Structure 1
Amino acid sequence: MSSPPPYAIVVLSAYDPAVRDGAARVAQKLFKRNQVTVHPIPLESPGLHQTLSRLAGGTLYLVGHGDDFQIGDQQPPNLALKLEEEGLPETVARIHVLTCMSGVTPPQLQEAPALRLRLDLVALYQKDTGIRVTGLTGKSVDFGGSFRAIPNHPVVAWLDRVRDTDGDLEKLGELLDEGNELDANNAGSDAFQRLVEGNHALQQQDEEEQQIYSAIQMFVPHLLDKNARPDFWMMLYMLVQQMGDAMEDEELLDGEKWDSILSSLDTLEPLILQGLALSRQASKVHFS
């Protein structure tokens, strides 16, 4: 049996000419020196999983609409949910998901299909596939950005275990200690101190807890910047500190402590994963 091609582009919204054209542009732009196969596959295809398994090589490109919204008389199914139903091929080392945000005006950017797709894919982090998908998707009617897959990494495994505690404070206490130990060289705290020293607004705040909260607000917009390179050690440091503050807050009930930790996790995990992917050179491909 022959080996699958090292690259495959799977057009999941094959009925939309704009998507097909986008896939063709990707092939022309990126794969001049690589073997590549372009396959139009409707997302509704009952054999999607088998097709993905057959096509998937080192890098799999999925091109399609990222959410449920009307395209003419068609309403595409949700890409992330369909992938979760079908399962992701174990042979894939990297996954790039290209989607568009056509029809989305700037005031609604936070609710754009591309961003919702990213949030939906967080569910796939929990799956036992060894594949972690992070990054950003397209802007306007063009395809841009990328999702980068992260192989198993101690920080990613730790993030999954934090979620798996489901609010067990004893387990969370143990993981809090482990989170500190992950950064043996204190790279995160050192990076945070450099950030504070170089930012006048942060210097004016007396409490580190408030400094961390303000710093997080500075970095959240990086979720919408495909070229941003967050320092994942610093993001991990801020997450651990916020977890510790919630655990020690005597005014919070146990359930409220878990809600606070989950809120911090939902905010910082994508930044940690994005920084980790870029720092590990998971992919050097950029779309525009």
Structure 2
Amino acid sequence: MSTVSQAVEKAGEGPVKIMWSRRAHFDAIAPAHVDVEAFLGTAAAALYSNARLMEAATTSPDSLITAMLECAALGHLPGTPDYYLTPRKAKGRWRILGIEGYRGVIERMYRSGGVASVHVREVCAGDAFRYVEGQDDRPYHEVGGRGQTGADFFGEKGNRERGEMVGVYAYARLTTGAWSRVVLLDRNDVMAAKASNEGSDGEYSPWQRLDAGPEHPELRGRSMWWKTAAKRLEPWVPTSAEYRREMLRASAKAADLRRSSLPPPPADEVQDAELVDEPTEQDSPTHYSPEEVEEMS
């Protein structure tokens, strides 16, 4: 039996069992919106669907737990496009490396409640592009082919006219209506980020994924270009659920301060008054006849 098959066979008593034994730890770290059973379920599904990943989790369960703890802290589900579980080999031993996807980074921005829209896009050599910092709110970017038809824009000719990726940018529209700072990275910036990623040249690295298919190797690892730009945007926009909670706390505190600054309402006071009885028939004014009135006048 191969090493991979043995790892899958032992999974019931190995990494999956270890994951569930740490349930309380994940529950304590994960934000309120994360269901811990779903969290553990997606991780188990990722292991069962990938024999190499299961082998890595079996030989190095500590690397699995480390990745899942990071995933829980970020508020994602492991083994999804928000947060990948990837097998990596180091010193002849398989282990797991957790990687937050670009979708996860953007999801945290939206989850904050302070971001209305996020824009991340690669720039290719054949694209029309313009951005002047301090003058333009956001980049002008014309993507794809030229011409009047859909084939000119989306067809093979249009795709090939784009050429290789030379840069990437990211910016956001805040819920206040303001635009965030625009983040621009050229190819050298992206390659420096790639070099700092462990195992980025490995077979299982998303940097090696043909995101636009085998016909367009020039777009290899495009999602990682997007992620690199989105990560650089993080310091300029809110990116966590704690931001929303802080906004609610600040609003509640401001309301309390407004209420405390108002003068107190006037207390109910009893005014001094003379009590008057209802008039009786005896107290009623006397009625005179017209003749008597004439005599008195």
Tell me the TM-score normalised to structure 2 length.
0.32
Question: Counting helix residues as a fraction of each chain, which structure ranks higher?
Answer: 1
The structure with the largest strand share of the pair is 2
TM-score (norm 1): 0.33
Which one has the largest radius of gyration? 2
